[in-house]
Each structure stands twice: as C-alpha cells, then as structure tokens.
Structure 1
Amino acid sequence: MVKSFRPRKPVTVKTQEEADALVRKMKGEMEAGSSYREKSLKLHGWICAKCGREFEADNLHLLTVHHKDGNHHNNPADGSNWENLCVYCHDDEHSRSLLGDYLKGGKK
C-alpha cells in the first residue's frame, strides 16, 4: 500500500448550512470508524492475536485493530477482516512488507 503525502485540496464552504453539514458528515465518519474497534474488541477479545498478550482496561489503548487486507473501509460485521494486535505487533506487521519489498529490490 502506497500512501501519498501530497496535501489535500482545501474544502471551500460557502454558507453556514454547508459548514454544518460538513461537520455532521465528518463526525459521522469518525463515529463509524471507532465503532469497528469496539466490535472487534467484543468479537476477538482483549488479546493480541500475534503475541498473545492480554490487556486490561488501563492499557487497552495499546491494543489496535489491524485490517488483514489493508483496506480500512472493509469492515464486515462478522469481523473477518480484523485482528486485534498490540501496537508492537501492529508495527511489526506493517514493517514486514516494507522490508520484504526492499530486500526484493521492489518498491522504494
């Protein structure tokens, strides 16, 4: 997956109603994005799927949701595209492809 670091085009808002609608839309997207984490935690439990570390309420922020196919918009209700990974295993998972590409002489 290649990420672009180009700045986004600025959003121009002409009226207060358009601004309010934009804020409502963005809040809705944020709520929808956070709900898949809650669903994944309920489905898969408070444990890292890779290293097996168990989490409690005070350190639950260190448990992340990894999208197996790399598509953050693919959030099936059955959780088949998610796995809960601690921040360390999640970083490791994403760095493996970078290292593999580098060693193969692929993407740079």
Structure 2
Amino acid sequence: MSPSFRPRKPQPGKVKTQEELDALVRRMKSEQAAPDNYRQRSLKLHGWICAKCGREFELDNLHLLTVHHRDGNHHNNPPDGSNWENLCVYCHDDEHSRTILADYLRGSEKET
C-alpha cells in the first residue's frame, strides 16, 4: 500500500488561525536563529578543535565540529560548558559507537 499524498481534512478544533500560524513561525525562527544556543557557547568556550583527535577547524569546515553531551542528556546545558566537549563528526560517531558496543557486550541493550 503506497502512502497517500492527498491533503488531510482539517480536524474540528485543531484548525489554527493565520495569526496563530504566523506567531508559531516567528517563534520557531527566533529559536533557530538564537545566537546563544549551546553549540555557539561550546565553540566559544572550548575552541574550534576536536577534544579527542585534536583536529582544528576553520569557518569553511566548522559544520563538521559537533557538541557531545558527556552525560548523554541534551537538555543538560550548564552555562560553564562542563557537560560539553567539541568532537569532530568522526570522533562523535566513535564515542556513541563505543557506548552501543559496551551496552551490547554487557547484555544491557534496550529492547524495542
């Protein structure tokens, strides 16, 4: 069975006014463009360098530098940056792969 691409019928009580939609878009854009998000703060605090392999980054490849949350909680963003470390995408992937492998070897993988 293929998915239907027909527009959904509006559900009663769930229809938003144009003003509500505009306010929602404005709020989402402001959150997305907020200059003080945790990635920007981490880059400012820890520099444009991978904490694991030491690779240095410049503006043209800065998108390859990510922020790793040491405790795994993406909502734990202390102002001092103590839960963050800047890792290149390769080291970040390696860090999470190690955790998955360790969980598997301990027999504590999550059941789906």
Aligned-residue identity in percent: 79
- Report the structure number with the largest CA radius of gyration: 2
Deviates more, 1:49-58 or 1:12-21: 12-21
Shift in Å, 1:29 = 2.9
1:66–1:85 contact (8 Å) kept in structure 2: yes
1:90 equivalent to 2:58? Answer no
Give TM-score, length-normalised by structure 2.
Answer: 0.75
How many residue pairs end up in the alignment? 97
Aligned-partner residue type, residue 46 of structure 2: H
1:13–1:19 contact (8 Å) kept in structure 2: no
Match of 2:74 among 60, 66, 72: 72
User: What does residue 11 of structure 2 align with?
Assistant: none
User: What does residue 29 of structure 1 align with?
Assistant: 31
Shift in Å, 1:84 = 0.4
Paired with 2:21 and 2:35, the residues of 1 have a C-alpha distance of 21
String of CA shifts for 1:36-74, please: whole Å, max 9, x gaps.
211111110111001111112221111111111212222
User: What does residue 44 of structure 1 align with?
Assistant: 46
